[in-house]
Structure formats: C-alpha cells, structure tokens
Amino acid sequence: MITQPSDTLTRNAQGHTPGVALRPRQGREGELAISDGTLTQMDLATLVRRCATESEHFYRGQPHDTSFSYELFRRALVERDEQAWEQLYLHYSGLVEGWIRRSGAFVSSGESSEYFVVGAFTKFWRAIGAERFASFPSLASLLQYLQLCATSVVIDSVRAQSWSEMLPEELISPHHGPQTSPDEEAVNRVDREEFWRFINGQLSGEVERVVLYCSFVLGLTPRAIYAKRSELFSSVNDVYNVKRNVLGRLSRNQQLRQMIDV
C-alpha cells in the first residue's frame, strides 16, 4: 500500500512501480495474491489490519500488495460505507497533512493543517462516487487525485482571501459554488491579461506593484514582503499602509467595478 506522495514513487528492484499493479500476482512467499472476490467479503477490521501491514512492507522496501487499500477506497467511495470512510481517513490523514504542509500556499493561508485535511477529504468524497470510481483503476491514481484535492483546497483558500481583500464585499456574488474560488468566478468574466494590465495601470510606482504582486500572486504576508524587499520600506507598517491604500483605491474604481460586476 502506498503511503508516500505520488511524486515520490520510485521503481523497486524488480522494475515495478509500487502501488500500481492490482491484479492477482505472486506474493512474498510465492502464493497468489488474494482474489477480488475474497477481498469484497473480508471483514473491515481484517482489511484495515492488512492495509497497515502492507504499508509497513512498503516503508521497508519489501514487496507489498495494494489491493487491500484499493478495496478500502472502493467500500468508502462506491458503497459509501461510513465505517470504511472513517478508517480511510484515519489511515491517510497523516499523508494528506504532509502534502498540505509542503504546499507553497500553506504558510500564507492562516489556517491550520487539520482544517485543510478535512477540506481535502471532503472534496475527494464529493468528486468520486460510484459512477466515477472505475476511472481510477489503481491505488496510485486514487492517491494522486487525493493529493490534487489537498493542494487545491489550500490554493483556493488563499485565492479567496486575496480576492475578498481586493474587492468590495458587494461585488462578490453569493451564488458561487463551493468548488470554485471567488476570484476564478469573477476574473474568468474578463480577459486575464486585460484585467491585470488595467490593475497595473492604476498603481503608482514600484512600491505599490511589489506589494500587490507579492500579496496576490505570491500570497505573501506584509511581514514576509518586508523581509523580502526591506530596501523599499522603513517598517512592516509601511507595507500594511501601502496595501491598505491600494486596495481602498481599487475598491472605489468605477471602471474596475464594471469589468468584474456580477
């Protein structure tokens, strides 16, 4: 069972990618791996124990069988088995938290990693049901998608915060769906290059451009901006003041309101 991020998967000594083969194959002592029929009839407690065992084998670089973990995912997502889902969450929450903490946007999010772990699993649950599960033929493909969910919930959160700072509250539509961040809904209504070209034209000098770029493109806090470009500011308060002034000016700009009016 894979318990490492998909981008760190390496081939073992036999040239196989861990966690990809799901069909019956030779086991560690020459026996055939357990059949699909037996897996579906296995009680949950035994299945969870086998998942943990195969995880240990993977960590030790030993031959391992991913079919137990794949079956746990199947029960949780296809059968919507709440107990299987709970065990899946317990088993993989540490892995998901690691992905979240390595996300470049996490530091500037202002949220705890536990908050995003819940969000990642929720997004994963909503996205994959019985009708879509067949499009994920391996444990590796399921984990890759779970990793994508983990990364996207962090990025969406930072984007939403940044956009809400830039726009007056009344311009943010209350009808946005939960799967799309507010900035994507608004900015997709105009040409992106045109939008940012207009924003750039409203800024007076390098200091404002640095603050806006670092805040809304890099996702940096004022303290991080000051640390990065201290030659432009006398203190962190200067960064706060510039950011506040720019956002105030943009929020009052009638042409900007017309461009993104929803």
- Taking 50 as the pLDDT cut, the residues of the chain under it are 1-32, 166-190, 262
Q: What is the pLDDT of residues 28-56, one digit of tens each?
A: 333 335 556 788 889 999 999 999 999 88
Residue with tokens 């124990």: 49
Residues 115 and 132: their CA atoms lie apart, in Å, by 26
Q: Provide φ and ψ at 26, rounded to 5°.
A: -65, 135
Share of the chain above pLDDT 90, in %: 32
Q: What's the pLDDT score for residue 160?
A: 65
pLDDT value at position 147?
93
Q: Which of these, 23, 17, 92, 93, lies nearest to 55 by C-alpha position?
A: 92
pTM for the model: 0.53
**In this predicted structure, what is the pLDDT of residue 261?**
54
The dihedrals phi and psi of 31, each to the nearest 5 degrees, come to -80, 160
* Amino acid sitting at position 64: H
pLDDT of residue 248: 78
Identify the pLDDT of residue 250: 78
